[in-house]
Amino acid sequence: MPAPISLAVKAGPYVALATVSLIAWHFDARAVANAALVRSQAAAFEQTQLAATQIAQTALQHQQAAYAAKSLEADSAYQAQLANTRSAADRYIASHRVQPQTIASGGSSTAATAPGGSASVPAGVPTGAVVVSTGDVQACTDAATYALNAHTWAANINP
């Protein structure tokens, strides 16, 4: 064999080994660089995630504070309206209270008895009138006030 070919045959495996080694070194360097890039991206992602979590928590706290303020405002308005309606109910009760007629004889304040054994009703009250207790008027007042406020609240949720 000629000398250049003989040299190529003898040196060929070494050149191939060197080439494969250089290619392996190149790919190893690329893998290390890619791993470093992935680590830096993961760290940046983690920082972004932490910042987003902080922003979300701050927004949630702000929203909860706003809801708490609205709740307190609505409750205060309801309590004020309830006090007003109870006062109006008390005035209505006082002006429409049915008092049994008293017997003037003997200075006693015993109630006169109607033929059925119940206390008599003043002449000004219609015979078909329905008499409701003070507790029932107050219960109806409270329920109606609550219902009206619930309706207003529901109407404000989805206008």
Q: What is the pLDDT of residues 118-152, one digit of tens each?
A: 455 666 767 777 788 899 999 999 999 999 999 98
What is this structure's pTM? 0.53
Please list, residue by residue across 59-87, b when 16 or more beta carbons sit within 10 angstroms of its beta carbon and e when fewer do.
Answer: eeeeeeeeeeeeeeeeeeebeeeeeebee
